[in-house]
Amino acid sequence: MVSFRVDEDDFVRLDALAHQTSCSRAEVLRRCLRGVRLKSTTDAQALTAVSRVHADLNRIGGLLKLAIREGVGDRSSYYGLNVELRDAIRQVSRAVERLAGQP
């Protein structure tokens, strides 16, 4: 077992790396000592979320285009699709903010 002190800034950076990689602080240090590249699980999760929402946006866009072209449904169905589209756009925005490192 090794014990040593680090200043506040280094401790914050170590905690951030541990959080981003879903590893313990000790595991982050071990990987750094071995020269292993740290992979961010946070970015992977955000990318998965963006991909899922992208598929939803395509589905909603296709349904809206079909409804308008075919004259299917009434205005309330268009309104519902519009609400779904806005929700999906909000989800994409949140995922992009996570990828950019914003809370």
Cα 1 → chain centroid: 36
Q: How far apart are CA 27 and CA 33, in angstroms?
A: 10
Joined tokens for residue 73: 């449904």
- pLDDT tens for 10-20 read 999 999 999 88
Would you kindly state where each structural domain of the chain is located, as residue ranges?
A: 1-39, 41-99
- pLDDT tens for 25-66 read 999 999 998 998 887 776 677 777 877 888 888 888 787 777
- pLDDT tens for 63-100 read 777 777 777 766 677 777 778 878 888 888 777 777 76
The gap between the terminal CA atoms of the chain, to the nearest Å, is 35
